[in-house]
Copies of this chain bind each other. A is one copy, B any other.
Amino acid sequence: MPRGNCQGQGWWHGKFRGCGYRLTTGREAILDILSRSEGHLSAEDIYIKVHPRYPNVGLTTIYRTLDVLSNLGIVYKLDFGDGRARYELAEGPKGAHHHHHLVCTGCNRVIDYADFIDEEVELLQQTEKGLGKKYNFRINNHVIQFYGLCDKCNGKK
């Protein structure tokens, strides 16, 4: 079992309690799965992973919890254009690094990349600042994604 868990298993408890949310079995189970899994899980993916150990956590609770987590900034809600939302821990005990996504429209594979992240982030921050001022917007999120065909899907046709 890897070291590096910031504050033990309950690192999110504070954030939860601080906002008046109750700690429940379902919520802990969902966060547990999210922190054990590599990103990009759909609600159903999570349901399937949670269900064996906690058969009485319903899909509705998954959706509701993900909504809360997303609002708290604990998870990112992602949209890769395949009709279902995906979720990944914003920054878990594993200390995942900031990255963007490269989506294959052939097989829906998603590659996390961080190669040009610094330049991208710098430009994004500049742009956010400029746009925020010009249009009087309070920008609090951005999406940058590339779509294309991976080598496998590219060869196929």
Contacts and interface: CB of A to CB of B under 8 A. Distances in A.
A128 interface: yes
A21 interface: no
Given A130-B116, A142-B146, A143-B147, A135 B102 contact: yes
A140 to B, nearest CB: 5
A54 interface: no
A142 B102 CA distance: 9
A127 B126 CA distance: 17
Contacts of A143: 143-145, 147
Chain copies in complex: 2
Given A104-B137, A111-B135, A135-B111, A145 B142 contact: yes
Interface residues of A, number: 37
Nearest to A134: B115
A105 B142 CA distance: 12
B137 A149 contact: yes
Interface string A123-157: 10011101110111111111111111111001000
Interface of A: 79, 81, 102, 104-105, 111, 113, 115-116, 119-120, 123, 126-128, 130-132, 134-151, 154
23 contacts: A102-B139, A104-B137, A105-B141, A111-B135, A116-B127, A116-B130, A116-B131, A119-B123, A120-B123, A120-B127, A123-B123, A127-B146, A135-B150, A136-B150, A136-B151, A136-B154, A137-B146, A137-B149, A137-B150, A137-B151, A138-B148, A139-B148, A142-B146
